[in-house]
């Protein structure tokens, strides 16, 4: 009898201690985190139900989701940890699509959340959908044939007319931010927020590029233009895993007179490319090469409005400052409403250390890039809009296999549509455009130009 009492007591003690331990320290315990979406007062848009709110644990990469009720409040079940919380939605009114994005970094959820709950407020910033989008961005390079290292002088970007009307690219400019690398310490981030978020501007670092006078292309719906950021030549001659950027329809960032004269960055373009396809550079930073990040760039394109030209914007010194007071890192402030499209790219392998550089009004999310492996950042297909086009019947190719979801930090196109194969089959593709790189892009395991 005494032995039974001792065993019963011990069993009770173990169960009690396990319960206490589970209550206090269980790393898998879920807490109902309250997230309130807030829209600007006086706006034509207010809170709505069924908006997805995502919380990314910056230590583990795990994603927890919830949806809003009619009052814009979402409950996101999440374990204790440090989070980046975001939300995105799109609405249509009067034939125009409006995207709303919200993002907050460094939200700490502790084991005391049940006793001391708080509401995470996310300011939703609205923007109109634009005509021209970044279809593909390739900056990470690839492996050399002899296995001696990597090759990264073959960068390019593809722009695409995602609208139903012709797009004139006059005064369109190509830019990147300072800080250049997403995983580097960023002096612009204070208490988890960009210091210039409230300014409604984006910093264009070092310099920007645009078309030569009178040479801006016009794109019909579904047409694209390829711009060689580095080396408008056939790189596959020296590196088979690279890309051929020597085709006559392509454009080249090539303007040695601007100060961007580094021979490795800017070899003389292929003879097939006419000089009218050479872009003009406006340089105001240090160095002889436009230093777009190979690991995690924040890349954007903008169009100067009526009354402002790229030249006059360049000459206006009132819009300049120096990143972290470093004289070599000059940048110009571009108003957010000039920005046509953007891609916030984070460096793979730096979970919890990447920082946003594009404000929410320009890009409310991010996409991860693994550099040096021939991967590119490629646009996701808007499945519903593409399938709704009557002429696409029988031309859409499914079972997309070029994504990298099978790799660590890899992603793929959730639509399952192979955009490049579908275009070859005669389909008209409509790509996602929510002003949120998390929704709009994925990492492609092979640069699309390799098959062209």
Q: What is the 3-state secondary structure (H, E, C) of 380-445?
A: CECHHHHHCCHHHCCCCCCCCCCECCCCCCCCCCCCCCCHHHHHHCCCCCCECCCCCHHHHEEEEC
Show the DSSP H helices in 287-402 as ranges: 310-315, 383-387
pLDDT digits (tens, 9 = 90+) for 421-443: 999 999 999 999 999 999 999 99
47 with 153, same domain: the answer is: no
Write out the two tokens for 100.
């709303």
With residue 20 as reference, give the H or E element that holds it: helix 2-25
167 with 37, same domain: the answer is: no
Residue 177 lies in a domain: yes
pLDDT of residue 129: 62
Query: What residues in the chain have per-residue pLDDT under 70?
Result: 1-25, 92-97, 129
CATH number at residue 60: 2.60.40.10
Residue 396 lies in a domain: no
Q: How far apart are CA 375 and CA 446, in angstroms?
A: 5
End position of a domain, from candidates 342, 370, 398: 370
Helix, strand, or coil here: 316?
coil
Residue 256 DSSP class = G
pLDDT of residue 121: 96
pLDDT of residue 92: 62
pLDDT of residue 165: 81
168 with 270, same domain: the answer is: yes
123 with 238, same domain: the answer is: no
Tally of domains in the chain? 2
* Strand order from edge to edge, sheet including 119-128: 63-67, 52-57, 81-93, 96-109, 119-128, 31-39, 73-78
Residue 446 lies in a domain: no
Q: How far apart are CA 402 and CA 378, in angstroms?
A: 10
End position of a domain, from candidates 110, 128, 146: 128
184 with 300, same domain: the answer is: yes
Please name the residues in contact with 168: beta carbons below 8 A apart, sequence gap of 6 or more. 216, 218
Q: Which residues in 137-150 are b (16+ Cβ under 10 Å) and which e?
A: bbbbbbbbeeeeeb
112 with 148, same domain: the answer is: no
pLDDT of residue 166: 86
Beta-ladder partners of 381: 431
53 with 153, same domain: the answer is: no
124 with 266, same domain: the answer is: no
Residue 240 lies in a domain: yes
Q: How far is CA 417 from the centre of its chain?
A: 20
pLDDT digits (tens, 9 = 90+) for 118-164: 999 999 988 776 789 999 999 999 999 999 999 999 999 999 999 88
91 with 213, same domain: the answer is: no
Helix, strand, or coil here: 294?
coil
| pTM (2 d.p.) | 0.80
Q: How far is CA 103 from the centre of its chain?
A: 13
Residue 392 lies in a domain: no
Q: Which sign, positive or negative, has the C-alpha torsion 56, 57, 58, 60?
A: negative
With residue 12 as reference, give the H or E element that holds it: helix 2-25
Residue 448 lies in a domain: no
Please name the residues in contact with 184: beta carbons below 8 A apart, sequence gap of 6 or more. 355
Q: How far is CA 136 from the centre of its chain?
A: 11
Residue 384 lies in a domain: no
212 with 328, same domain: the answer is: yes
pLDDT of residue 44: 79
54 with 180, same domain: the answer is: no
Residue 407 lies in a domain: no
pLDDT of residue 27: 85
pLDDT of residue 93: 57
End position of a domain, from candidates 128, 163, 185: 128
113 with 161, same domain: the answer is: no
pLDDT of residue 281: 98
Residue 212 DSSP class = P
Per the structure, the complete domain to which residue 61 belongs is given by 27-128
């Amino acid at each position: 009898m005494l032995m039974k009492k001792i065993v019963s007591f011990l069993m009770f003690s173990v169960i009690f201690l396990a319960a206490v331990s589970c209550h206090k320290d269980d790393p898998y315990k879920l807490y109902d985190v309250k997230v309130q979406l807030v829209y600007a007062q006086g706006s034509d848009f207010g809170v709505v139900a069924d908006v997805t709110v995502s919380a990314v644990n910056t230590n583990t990469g795990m994603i927890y989701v919830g949806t809003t009720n009619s009052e814009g409040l979402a409950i996101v079940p999440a374990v204790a940890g440090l989070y980046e919380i975001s939300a995105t939605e799109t609405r249509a009114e009067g034939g125009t699509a409006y995207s709303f994005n919200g993002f907050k970094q460094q939200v700490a959820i502790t084991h005391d959340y049940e006793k001391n709950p708080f509401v995470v407020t996310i300011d939703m910033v609205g923007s109109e959908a634009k005509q021209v989008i970044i279809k593909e961005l390739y900056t990470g390079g690839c492996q050399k044939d002899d296995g001696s290292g990597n090759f990264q002088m073959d960068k390019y970007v593809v722009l695409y007319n995602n609208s139903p009307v012709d797009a004139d690219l006059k005064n369109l400019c190509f830019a990147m931010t300072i800080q250049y690398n997403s995983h580097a310490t960023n002096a612009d981030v204070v208490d988890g927020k960009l210091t210039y978020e409230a300014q409604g501007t984006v910093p264009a670092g070092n310099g920007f590029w645009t078309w030569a006078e009178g040479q801006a292309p016009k794109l019909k719906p579904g047409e694209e233009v390829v711009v060689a950021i580095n080396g408008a030549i056939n790189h596959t001659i020296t590196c088979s895993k690279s890309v051929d950027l020597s085709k006559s329809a392509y454009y080249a960032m090539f303007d040695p007179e601007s100060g961007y004269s580094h021979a490795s960055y800017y070899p003389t373009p292929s003879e097939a490319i006419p000089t009218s396809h050479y872009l003009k550079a406006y340089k105001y930073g240090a160095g002889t090469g436009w230093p777009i990040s190979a690991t995690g760039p924040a890349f954007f394109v903008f169009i100067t409005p009526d009354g402002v030209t790229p030249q006059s914007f360049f000459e206006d010194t009132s819009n300049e400052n120096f990143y972290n007071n470093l004289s070599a890192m000059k940048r110009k402030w571009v108003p957010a409403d000039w920005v046509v499209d953007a891609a916030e790219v984070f460096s793979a392998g730096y979970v919890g250390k990447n920082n946003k550089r594009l404000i929410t009004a320009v890009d409310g999310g991010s996409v991860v890039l693994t550099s040096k492996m021939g991967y590119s950042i490629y646009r996701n297909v808007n499945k519903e809009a593409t399938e709704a086009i009557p002429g696409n019947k029988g031309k859409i190719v499914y079972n997309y296999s070029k994504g990298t979801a099978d790799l660590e930090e890899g992603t793929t196109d959730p639509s399952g549509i192979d955009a490049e194969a579908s275009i070859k089959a005669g389909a008209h593709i409509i790509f996602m455009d929510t002003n949120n790189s998390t929704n709009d892009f994925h990492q492609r395991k092979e640069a699309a130009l390799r098959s062209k």
